[in-house]
Amino acid sequence: MSRIRALWNASINATKRALTWNLEELMPPQEMCVFSFSSKEDLKRWHLYSDSEYGGLSSASLEVKDAENGLNGLTFLTPLNYIYSEGIFSGNLSSEVSDGSRWRMNRSGFCGMRSKKFDGFIDLDPYDTLAFKLKGDGRCYISTIYTENWINAPGQLEDNTWQAFVVLPRGNWYIAKIPLASYLPTWRGNIVDARLEMNPSRVVGMSLSVNAEGGVPGTKSGPGDFKLEIDWIKALRSG
């Protein structure tokens, strides 16, 4: 009897281990790289936009730059020193409008970089946070997530838009983490006053943008140059 019981217990324990292994295989990784900015090929996944499309005078560029990871400009033959690449989103914000513009602009002074349409969707449903490794200039930037249009607001044919502010220290690399629950639904820059829920399994694009005015109090604002260095964007799962 004791031998049968031992075999029974061994069988149960083996089944439990198998189930545990299967569950671990089914679980998504703790993090997923959504975008990297280490090559010109990476930058081809993005396009720029600004108020210049509507008669404004702002301008923007997106390029990749090699940078050496050293200590105070000194060179050491250690693993700490290597050449890596980063994306640089930079330009100039202007509040002026060109003479003879055929557009009736409510405001100017904005630039952005938006990912091109995906071949399908990015599924962020297993994750709860977006993380950005960035080096800022003191300005407040805006992170936007575009999801498939399933809200069906009257007259709305564009993707659904969800936005959150990105605030980071000036001049140092920083990992900004924004919970997906912090993104608010917006319509043409204005918060939608309704109880809506993002569908993170149907993400069709993302963007980073900057405005000359507005943003978080205490951050740099107004016309002038801007510069945001970008290493990567990742999705994180805290659970």
Residue 187: predicted pLDDT: 82
Q: Which pTM was predicted?
A: 0.79
More confident residue, 62 or 197: 62
Compute the mean pLDDT over every residue in the chain, rounded to the nearest whole number.
Answer: 81
Whether the predicted pLDDT of 230 surpasses 80: yes
- Interval 122-141 mean pLDDT: 96
Domain range 31-236, CATH class: mainly beta
**For the segment 67-108, what is each residue's pLDDT rounded down to a tens digit?**
655 433 333 333 445 556 899 999 999 988 877 666 566 667
> How confident is the model over 224-234, as a mean pLDDT?
97
How far is residue 186 from each of residues 36, 156, 190, 191, 216, measured CA to CA in Å? 26, 12, 5, 4, 17
Q: Give domain limits for the chain.
A: 31-236
Q: Mean pLDDT lowest for which of 104-108, 128-132, 153-157?
A: 153-157
Give the pLDDT score at 238. 85
- Across 157-172, average pLDDT: 89
Given this model, what pLDDT does residue 208 score? 98
**Quick one: which of 195, 28, 212 has its CA closest to 112?**
212
